[in-house]
Amino acid sequence: DGGITQSPKYLFRKEGQNVTLSCEQNLNHDAMYWYRQDPGQGLRLIYYSQIVNDFQKGDIAEGYSVSREKKESFPLTVTSAQKNPTAFYLCASSMTGGRGNEQFFGPGTRLTVL
């Protein structure tokens, strides 16, 4: 079955630590995205990548970093510079080009900072 996997489902970290969230897709999609979801605020775009070895900042990139070394993988690192990292993080992918290309989502990772 093709899809997107995110791991782990729940993640706890101590304040001041960096943590990396995994996202893998086998849909052969060129584009991948990271969103943050907080209650009552919908989805906010952190970073996106349209092709391997290239990525762009989204609306709330401060305190986050990404890499895109392989087409299938787009890991997100939440650094200690992120002031309020506790949230639900969603990874998505899509084909590039075309007006109607929907995004496919993973199951999400819930990060809690202790």
Partner 1 sequence: GDSVTQMEGPVTLSEEAFLTINCTYTATGYPSLFWYVQYPGEGLQLLLKATKADDKGSNKGFEATYRKETTSFHLEKGSVQVSDSAVYFCALSGLSRGAGNNRKLIWGLGTSLAVNP
Contact footprint for partner 1 (CB under 8 A): 4, 6, 30-31, 33, 40-43, 45, 48, 50-51, 54, 56, 58, 90, 92, 94, 96-108
Residue pair 56/89 in contact by the 8 Å Cβ criterion: no
CB of 97 to partner 1, least distance (A): 5
Of the pair 16, 26, the CB lying nearest partner 1 is at 26
Residue pair 110/9 in contact by the 8 Å Cβ criterion: yes
Of the pair 92, 111, the CB lying nearest partner 1 is at 92
d(CA 72, CA 15): 30
Of the pair 63, 105, the CB lying nearest partner 1 is at 105
d(CA 113, CA 33): 22
CB of 80 to partner 1, least distance (A): 27
Of the pair 72, 80, the CB lying nearest partner 1 is at 72
d(CA 21, CA 36): 12
CB of 26 to partner 1, least distance (A): 16
Q: What's the burial of 53, exposed, middle or buried (CB within 10 Å: 0-12/13-18/19+)?
A: exposed
CB of 85 to partner 1, least distance (A): 19
